[in-house]
Amino acid sequence: MARLRAFTMPKWGIEMTEGTIAEWQVKEGEDFAKGDTICSIETAKITNEVDAEYGAKVRRVIAEAGAELPVGALLAVFDDGADASEEEVETFIANFKPGGGAAKSDPEKSAPEPAPEPETAEPKARVKIDTNRPSSPEALKLTEEEGVDISGIEGSGREGRITYQDVHQAIHGPNTAKPRGTTVLPNEDAIFASPLARRIAALHDIDLSSIGGTGPRGRISKKDVLAKMPDEDGGAVSGAPFRLVANDAEIVPFDRIRKVVAKRLTAAKQEIPHFYLRISVNADPMPEIRKAANLVLGCKASVNDLIVMAAARALARHPDVNVQLHGDAVHRFAHADVSVAVASPKGLVTPIIRQANRMRINQIANATKGVIEKAKEGALGYEDMDGGTFTVSNLGMFGIENFDAIINPPQGAILSVGTSKRVPVETEDGAIAFETRMSFTLSVDHRAIDGATGAQFLQTFKTLLENPEQLFG
């Protein structure tokens, strides 16, 4: 059974006697759910969105956007049951009378009633209009009372239906009165725009004459004005609709180095059974020994140079980690040829510090500086890249705490270096102190290196960094 409901002008506060429909968010024939926004209503003080208290279908919109109506006036008809017939809707509208929500008059504040017309004044003759154009009863009644030629009226209702507002506008012309409490920009009084759109345009100095309205009969709505608001930082202004911009892809083909890297790392991740061992090291002793070494040897060794040196010395003590895997054979090496991961303009490269276990810290620093400069200039040769028994990859300078690096085949392991940070630790006497900790992750090829072997290598590596004087013994 059809259940028609009247949607009327609400009353917010004692002083509210009328309101203006700023913008409809639903259209005739549309369904809405409980909580959906139905429309925006503007009063002398506020503009408020009206949310649905129940779900229904919009059967008829009576008051067009921009209409100023008293509290309790019929704004729309909703159907929250089975679809009612058009005749039932028309009967409901014709029989509607404002209920208790209508404003009550205050004898002390109400304006004087207009003087009655002279008794000699003759009532306006009502002209019977015979037409098959779809029109609301109130619209047809007004055309007959005013003798309006209905053929010249363009209906704004559903499927060209002529509404009461269409006839009223044909008689009196567009409503160009300034909305209450709104500042209208010069020369805009004749522009067909909603009160809320005018207010937003006035606040942001937007010329309404430059805006094309998307509302009924070309009326400028709030969203039309918001779409014209300046977008200073590339994001939508608060309240403005999000607008998509061109997002064309820049196509960058792989160069020769990128192709090689992609092929090797894809194969490595697919074919090598990686497992990972993690350890943290007390890095507080490293700066002092580095400072002393630089002073004595006249070099500029970095923390990463100390890490390469410690890894190389640990590899020499654990040759089972200093390996390459070729087919079904493991190749062990007596000396550590340590590859250093470097970000070059052409991508990631891993030049080699050869026999780093036999070098002093100044020699490692000079060799590392040399290959980094060649990498930045794109001048690395085959001899700089061929071979390598182990790799060190450091992202700690970027604040990365830890990461899992992909093994660089045919090597059996790679050491990733994280950032250092101050952390609280418990001392031997139970007190709390702070020390600098640095995290390391060893990615291991389980085909060539067992877990215990990798763990023993990391223990030696940790001991060398926490006791760096052993590196110079």
Residues annotated as part of the active site: 446
Burial of 111 (0-12, 13-18, 19+ CB in 10 A): exposed
Strands (E), 80-163: none
Instruction: Kindly list the distances between the CA atom of residue 202 and the CA atoms of 176, 199, 209, 241, 243, in Å, as whole numbers in the listed order.
Output: 16, 5, 12, 19, 23
DSSP H helical segments within 111-239, as ranges? 137-146, 164-172, 195-203, 222-226
Q: From the CB of residue 377, how many other CB atoms can be counted at a distance below 10 Å?
A: 10
Q: Which residues on adjacent β-strands are paired with residue 223?
A: none
The whole-angstrom separation of Cα 306 and Cα 313 is 11
Q: From the CB of residue 112, how many other CB atoms can be counted at a distance below 10 Å?
A: 5
The answer to whether the CB of 382 falls within 8 A of the CB of 359 is: no
The whole-angstrom separation of Cα 64 and Cα 221 is 12
The whole-angstrom separation of Cα 336 and Cα 354 is 7
Q: From the CB of residue 223, how many other CB atoms can be counted at a distance below 10 Å?
A: 14
Q: Strands 56-61 and 274-282: what pairing? A: unpaired
The answer to whether the CB of 59 falls within 8 A of the CB of 106 is: no
Q: Is the dihedral of CA 237, 243, 245, 249 positive or negative?
A: positive
Rg for the chain, CA atoms, rounded: 41
N-to-C CA span, the chain: 97
The whole-angstrom separation of Cα 370 and Cα 152 is 88
Q: From the CB of residue 119, how many other CB atoms can be counted at a distance below 10 Å?
A: 5
The answer to whether the CB of 308 falls within 8 A of the CB of 356 is: yes
Element (H, E) at 124: none
Contacts 24+ apart (CB under 8 A), 31-36: 31/55, 31/56, 31/57, 31/58, 32/56, 32/57, 32/58
Element (H, E) at 334: none
Kindly state the DSSP code that residue 239 receives in the 8-state scheme.
T
